[in-house]
Structures are given as C-alpha cells and as structure tokens.
Amino acid sequence: MKILVTGARGFVGKNLIAELKNRGYEDIFEYNRDTDRSLLDKYAQECEFVFHLAGVNRPKDEIEFMEGNFGFTSELLEALKKHNNKAPVLMTSSIQATKDNLYGKSKKAGEDLLFNYSEDTGANVYVYRLPNLFGKWCRPNYNSVIATFCHNVARDLDIQINNPEAKLTLAYIDDVVHELINALEGNATLEGKYCTVPIKHEVKLGKIAELLQSFKESRKELSIPDMNDPFTKKLYSTYLSYLPKDKFSYPLKMNVDNRGSFTEFIRTPERGQVSVNISKPGITKGNHWHHTKNEKFLVVSGEGLIRFRNINSDEIIEYRVSGEKLEVVDIPTGYTHSIVNVGDTDMVTIMWVNECFDPENPDTYYLEV
C-alpha cells in the first residue's frame, strides 16, 4: 500500500512512520514543509491512504494559522481531486478546534473542509481531535509541557508551574500511533463524526512534575518507578528519551574489600532488591541464615559452590554453579548457606533478595555451614 504522510518530520509523523515500517509498510511518501512542492501532485496521484498530520501551532505571525491549517489542507485535497483519487484521508486536528481563538478556528476550518470533501467525492475521511500528546521525539520548549519538563528536569533546569492543580488531558504517542494504524486498517474508534484515541490520561500538572523529579532521584535511590501504573510507565519511558547524550549512565556505590565487592543495583519496596557480588578465587561469603528473608543466586561468570545446612541438621547440601551454565539457586529460609569461588578467576553473582536491607531488622544470623 502506498501511504502519503504529510508533516512526516513532526512529532506524530516520525513516530507513525517508524511504526508503519515496523509493521511492514515500506511504500511511504514522506512530505514535509521543505519537500519539493511538485512532489505533492505525484504523491496525490499515487497514494492509497493519506495521513494528513501537517499543521501550524506556533507561527511567527498569526495569519500562518489559517495558511497552515486550512490553506495546505485545501491544496492537498485539490491535488487528490485533480487525479480523482478517492483514497481515505486521516487528519489530526485538536481539541482546541472548539475554542474561539485563531488556532482553534483554523483547525475547525480544516475539519469542515475535509468533511465537505468527503461529501463531494465519497472518499472516507477520519478526523482525530487530539488532546495534549507526550512521548519520545517531541520538541521541548515548543508546545508540549511534558517535553519541556522532561528536558529541563534531565538537565537540572527549573520548571515553571503556575497552577499545580491544573488538570491535563493527555494521550501517549504509542497509543496515538496504534489508533491511527487501526484507522488505516479499517478499525478507527468513532465518537460521532469524529475519531478518538480511546486511551487518555487525566493528570494534574503538579503530579507530572512530582513524578519527573522522582525519576531523577531514582538513580540515587536505586529505585524503579511503579510500572503497574500505565501513566507512570509511559512518562518514565518519555523522560529517559530526553536524557542528555552524556547522561545515559550513572555510577553505583561499590563496597570493595580484599574478598571482592558487593554493589546494590536496584531497590524496590514491593519486589526486593538486586545486587552484584564479586568474589576473588578461594573466597567464601555467607555463612548465615534468615527467618523470613530469602534470596536467589545466579552466577554469571566464574565457578562456585553453594553449600546449605538446615540449622537443625548436620546434613550439608551442595550445588556447583558456573557462568557456563546459568541456573538460579533459591536460598530457603532456615538454612545457613555459603558461596565459595572454586575457580581461578573472579566469580560474579547476581543476587536477588525479597526485601531491601533494613539495618534495624537485618534478619541475618551468623552460623557456619
């Protein structure tokens, strides 16, 4: 299928085209503000579906609202008419189209033009009145508060909040793209004569700022945001996409001694913590047991021997482990246990424990295996 995308280099356009290609749509005509105007005629003749995403929302002169949101739409539809091409046309409009301002009026004029075009030609049209959008590749300091907040928080810059209680209606770019492709494939979500992105989020501005600051602090705290909350999950993915190129990594505190090192990696209140333990050859660690605390050991490099003994028994149980054959060893409660590096190189063990370490209640008792 030959697909024309106007506004192809915009926020929605880049994300849409990337996913279209992921799904096997390769014949895509990308049209942008700087594309040779003569190509519009060629694309209008050959295309089988139109995603009309081009528009103006931050012009230098307000007259550009009507030129960009009505004038170019008219030009596009005239080109389709010229070639009697009745390909479906999907246009992204805005919830601002109901407002009595120049931007809203220009978007409403573009909508009306498209609906009239459909009546005149019989072509299917889809008009999406989109709310505020967020996600990767959105330009900061332009017309997206989340893009600006993400950009600033990631760079230790101030963010301005006039009313923390102000509520925003938001749609995530992946949800938008999913819906637009549904329309392409004949499954648009309708609300009267308009189409809609069914998944939206109502969030207070102050909550957004609070979450973004917590994402920044999570590196120091070794925490992970609540991925069970759909908005938090999407906002965190968005935030990471705004990290400066030299800030993708962050250091961990390594506790080093002559035996090796122990480094906490991730701490979560409800899923425990993950650490990396490095032991030098011949070194034994452990020789303790727990009432409730339990662990999982995964040796990813080197060779080791994990030994267990029920504290009420003399029987010793042994498991040989190696980075050459990855397997998880559960550490049951009530068993004193140790792990010794029996190889010639450092042994690296990933350790998960069901609770974060609490110095007030360590639940760890020394006892030789």
**Which residue did the predictor score with more confidence, 187 or 66?**
187
State the pLDDT at residue 218: 98
272 shares its domain with 123: no
State the pLDDT at residue 143: 82
Cβ burial, residue 256 (10 Å; 0-12/13-18/19+)? exposed
Q: CATH number, domain at 133?
A: 3.40.50.720
* 243 in any annotated domain: no
State the pLDDT at residue 312: 99
DSSP three-state, residue 53: coil
**Residue 352 in tokens:** 């998960």
State the pLDDT at residue 99: 77
pTM of the model: 0.92
pLDDT at 18 over 80: yes
- Scanning the chain, the segments in alpha helix (DSSP H) are 11-22, 38-46, 63-66, 72-82, 102-121, 145-153, 173-184, 205-221, 230-240
pLDDT digits (tens, 9 = 90+) for 273-332: 999 999 999 999 999 999 999 999 999 999 999 999 999 999 999 999 999 999 999 999
Boundaries of domain holding 171: 3-212
55 shares its domain with 119: yes
* 52 in any annotated domain: yes
Which helix H or strand E contains 280, and what residues bound it?
none
35 shares its domain with 128: yes
pLDDT digits (tens, 9 = 90+) for 205-218: 999 999 999 999 99
Mean of the pLDDT values across residues 244-252? 98
State the pLDDT at residue 131: 96
| DSSP for residue 97 | G
Give Cα separations from 106 to 103, 170, 332 (angstroms).
5, 22, 67
Q: CATH number, domain at 300?
A: 2.60.120.10
State the pLDDT at residue 242: 98
Helices and strands counted in the chain (H then E)? 9, 21
- For the annotated catalytic residues, the residue numbers are 103
State the pLDDT at residue 70: 62
Mean per-residue pLDDT of the chain? 94
pLDDT at 62 over 70: no
State the pLDDT at residue 69: 58
User: Into how many domains does the chain fold?
Assistant: 2
44 shares its domain with 190: yes
194-204 in b/e form (b: 16+ CB < 10 A) is bbbbebbbebe
